[in-house]
Chains A and B, each alone.
Chain A
Amino acid sequence: MKSFNEKFAEVVFLIIAFSALSVLALITVFIFIEGLPIIARVGIFNFVFGMTWSPSHGEFGIFPMVIGSVAVTLGAAILGVPVALCCSIFLAEFAPAKISNLIRPAIQLLAGIPSVVYGFWGLVFIVPIIRNYLGGPGLSILAGSVILAIMILPTVISISEVSLLSLPRLYKEGAFALGATHWQTIRSVLMPAAKSGIVAGIILGIGRAIGETMAVIMVLGNAVAIPLSILDPARTLTTSIGIEMGYASGEHREALFATGIVLLIIIMILNSIAQYAARKR
C-alpha cells in the first residue's frame, strides 16, 4: 500500500503535468478558433498558394511568406548542417577531453544568446558585408540564412554528438580491427549507425529555424514579394505575424492567426518526423 503522502504527491504531479498539457491545448484551440474562419472564407488553397498579401484590399495569400520561410530555412540548413556535423564528429571522435570540455559549453552558450542579439549582430555585421561584397540591399535571404545557421548549431551539434557517443564501442573496435582507418570507420560505420539520431537533430534544428522570428525580422528586409535571388529581401511566416500583429484587426488579424496555424502544422510535422527518425534504430 502506498502511504497517503505518496498518493498525494502523485496526484499533485499529475495535475501539474496535465496543466502543462492543457496550456498547449488551449493555445492550439485558440489559434484555430481565431484563424480557421478566414481560411474557410478564402479557401485553404487560395490562402496557402495565393500570391498577393494585401490585407487592406482583402487579399490574403501567404505564398510569398511560405517561399521566404522555406528559402531561409533551407539556406540555414545548407550552411549550418555541414558545420554542425564536422563539429560533432570532431567532438565525439577527435577532440581530447581537455578541448571538448572547453568547446562543449561554448556551443551551449550559443543557445543561450537572446535572438534579438543575433539579429542585431547580423544587422550591423553580416548585412553590410553582403551589401558591400555581394551587392543588393544586404537585408536578404542570405543574411537570414547565415544568422539562422549559427542559431541551429547547438541543437544539431549536441544531438549528433550524443548519437555518435552512444554507439557501442564494439562498432569502432570491430572496424579498426579489420584494418579500417579512423576516417573510414567514421564514414562507413559510425555515421550510418548514428544516422537516425543525426537526422532527428537536423530536423529539430530546421524546426527551430522555421520558428525563429526576432533575429530574422532584423536582417531579412521583410518585403512581401517572392524573392528571386538569395540577395533579395524576403519575409517569413513568423516575421509576417511579428510585424503586423501589433496593429492588425478584423480579417487581417484572423489571417495572421491562420498563418500561425500553417506554421504550427509545419512544425508539428517536422517534430513527428524527428521523433520517428530517432525511434527508428
Chain B
Amino acid sequence: MMDDLKLKSNPGVNLKTEAVNLYYGRFQALRGITISIPHRSITAIIGPSGCGKSTLLRIFNRMNDLIPGVRVEGKVELDGASIYEKNTDVVALRKKVGMVFQKPNPFPMSVLDNIAFGPRQHGVKRAAELEGIVEQSLRQVGLWEEVKDILMQPALSLSAGQQQLLCIARVLAVGPEVILMDEPCSALDPDATLRIEDLMRDLAQDYTIVIVTHNMEQAARISDMSAFIMMEEDKAGVLVEYSPTAQLFSNPKDKRTDDYITGRFG
C-alpha cells in the first residue's frame, strides 16, 4: 500500500515499526502497523476516536508497558535498534523519546523542580548545572522571560498554556531525540495552541516530533508527514495511508482517507 514510501533502512529514518500488532489482553488494538518516521520532522497521526492513535504513540516510548496485559508483536526500532528486546534499557529509551500529554501535567512542585526533575533522576546533582539546564530548556520553549522571577512558585499556578510549555521544557531538559505529543493542544485556548504550534515548527529543526491530533487543520498546518489510522470491523486500528502531508490532504490515495478528511465520517 505504501511500499513506495518505505524508506528502507535509510539513515534519515528515526523511528520505524514493522508489522506491529498490539493487544490489550484479548482485544487487538493495532494490526500490521508499518511506518517509518523521518528525522527532524513533524509527523501527524490522525484518525477517528478510539482507532488507536494514542496506543501507537505510546509504543515508541513503551508507555504501554504500564498497562497490565499489553502484548506487542512485530518490530519497533529507534535509530535502527530494536526497542522491544528483553535487554532494552527502558529508562534510556524514555530519555531519548520524551512525551507530552493531552492534559498539561506538571508535578505539584515548583517550576524549577519540574524542569530539574528529569536531570535530577538521571544523576545531575550540581546546582549550577541544573540551573543551566532549567534556563536553557525554558528559553527553548520561550517561557523563560515569563517565569524567570517565579521559578520557586508552584507550577500549577501557571496558566494551562504555560503549563503545557513547561511540560515540553521538562521533556527537553532530559535531552531527547524524539518528542511524542498526544493531542497537546486539545485542552488549550486558540492563542496557546498557536504558540505551541509555532514552537513545534522551531523544535522540528532539532527534534523528531510525532503528534496525535484530532484537529485536521492543525495536522495540515504543521506536519511534514501524515498517517491516517482507522478501525477495521473488529475495532483493530490499521494504517490506511501514510504520505507527505500536502499529498495526503490534497490528493489522498485511499478512498477512506478522502472520506475522513472531507468529513464524511469520524
Q: Do A and B come from one complex?
A: yes
Q: Give residues in A with beta carbon < 8 Å to B.
A: 168, 170-181, 184, 188-189, 192-193
User: For residue A193, which residues in chain B have a CB less than 8 angstroms away from its CB?
Assistant: 107-108
Most B Cβ at <10 Å: residue of A179, A181, A188, A189 = A179
Check B117 against A178 for contact (C-beta < 8 Å): yes
User: For residue B106, which residues in chain A have a CB less than 8 angstroms away from its CB?
Assistant: 174
Q: Give residues in B with beta carbon < 8 Å to A.
A: 61, 63, 66, 91-95, 98-99, 101, 103, 105-109, 117-118, 120-122, 167, 170-171, 174
Check B98 against A174 for contact (C-beta < 8 Å): no
Q: Which one of B92, B95, B107, B122 lies within 8 Å of A175 (CB-CB)?
A: B107
**Those 9 A-B pairs whose CB atoms lie nearest each other, nearest first:** A170-B105, A177-B99, A179-B94, A178-B118, A179-B95, A174-B105, A180-B121, A179-B91, A184-B121
- Please give me the residue from chain B that is nearest to A178 by CB atom: B118
User: For residue B122, which residues in chain A have a CB less than 8 angstroms away from its CB?
Assistant: 179
User: For residue B117, which residues in chain A have a CB less than 8 angstroms away from its CB?
Assistant: 175, 178, 180, 188-189
- Please give me the residue from chain A that is nearest to B120 by CB atom: A188
- Please give me the residue from chain A that is nearest to B109 by CB atom: A192
User: What's the A-B contact tally at a CB cutoff of 8 Å?
Assistant: 64
B104 to chain A, nearest CB (A): 9
Q: In the complex where A173-B66, A174-B167, A176-B63 touch, is A181 in contact with B105 (Cβ < 8 A)?
A: no
User: For residue A168, which residues in chain B have a CB less than 8 angstroms away from its CB?
Assistant: 105
Q: In the complex where A179-B118, A179-B174, A188-B117 touch, is A173 in contact with B94 (Cβ < 8 A)?
A: no
Check A188 against B61 for contact (C-beta < 8 Å): no
User: For residue A177, which residues in chain B have a CB less than 8 angstroms away from its CB?
Assistant: 61, 63, 94, 98-99, 101, 171
Interface contacts beyond A174-B170, A179-B94: sample of 19 additional A-B pairs, CB < 8 Å, sorted by A: A168-B105, A172-B66, A173-B66, A174-B107, A175-B107, A177-B63, A177-B171, A178-B118, A178-B121, A178-B170, A178-B174, A179-B91, A179-B118, A180-B91, A180-B118, A181-B91, A188-B120, A189-B117, A192-B109
Docked pose: A168 CA to B106 CA in angstroms: 11
- Please give me the residue from chain A that is nearest to B65 by CB atom: A176
Interface SS of chain A: helix
Check A178 against B105 for contact (C-beta < 8 Å): no
Docked pose: A178 CA to B117 CA in angstroms: 8
User: For residue B121, which residues in chain A have a CB less than 8 angstroms away from its CB?
Assistant: 178-181, 184, 188
Docked pose: A234 CA to B11 CA in angstroms: 77
Check A171 against B66 for contact (C-beta < 8 Å): no
A174 to chain B, nearest CB (A): 5
User: For residue A192, which residues in chain B have a CB less than 8 angstroms away from its CB?
Assistant: 108-109
- Please give me the residue from chain A that is nearest to B102 by CB atom: A170
A198 to chain B, nearest CB (A): 14
Docked pose: A180 CA to B94 CA in angstroms: 9
- Please give me the residue from chain A that is nearest to B114 by CB atom: A174
Check B66 against A178 for contact (C-beta < 8 Å): no
Q: In the complex where A174-B107, A188-B121, A189-B107 touch, is A179 in contact with B92 (Cβ < 8 A)?
A: yes
Docked pose: A172 CA to B101 CA in angstroms: 12
User: For residue B170, which residues in chain A have a CB less than 8 angstroms away from its CB?
Assistant: 174, 178
A210 to chain B, nearest CB (A): 31
A175 to chain B, nearest CB (A): 7
Docked pose: A174 CA to B103 CA in angstroms: 11
A125 to chain B, nearest CB (A): 40
User: For residue B108, which residues in chain A have a CB less than 8 angstroms away from its CB?
Assistant: 171, 192-193
A279 to chain B, nearest CB (A): 15
Check B107 against A171 for contact (C-beta < 8 Å): yes
A278 to chain B, nearest CB (A): 15
Q: List 9 A-B contacts (CB under 8 A).
A: A170-B105, A171-B107, A172-B66, A173-B101, A173-B105, A177-B98, A178-B171, A188-B120, A188-B121
User: For residue A184, which residues in chain B have a CB less than 8 angstroms away from its CB?
Assistant: 121
Docked pose: A116 CA to B61 CA in angstroms: 55
Docked pose: A173 CA to B109 CA in angstroms: 16
Q: Which one of A176, A179, A180, A189 lies within 8 Å of B66 (CB-CB)?
A: A176
User: For residue B103, which residues in chain A have a CB less than 8 angstroms away from its CB?
Assistant: 170
Docked pose: A172 CA to B105 CA in angstroms: 10
User: For residue A173, which residues in chain B have a CB less than 8 angstroms away from its CB?
Assistant: 63, 66, 101, 105
A77 to chain B, nearest CB (A): 26
User: For residue A178, which residues in chain B have a CB less than 8 angstroms away from its CB?
Assistant: 94-95, 98, 117-118, 121, 170-171, 174
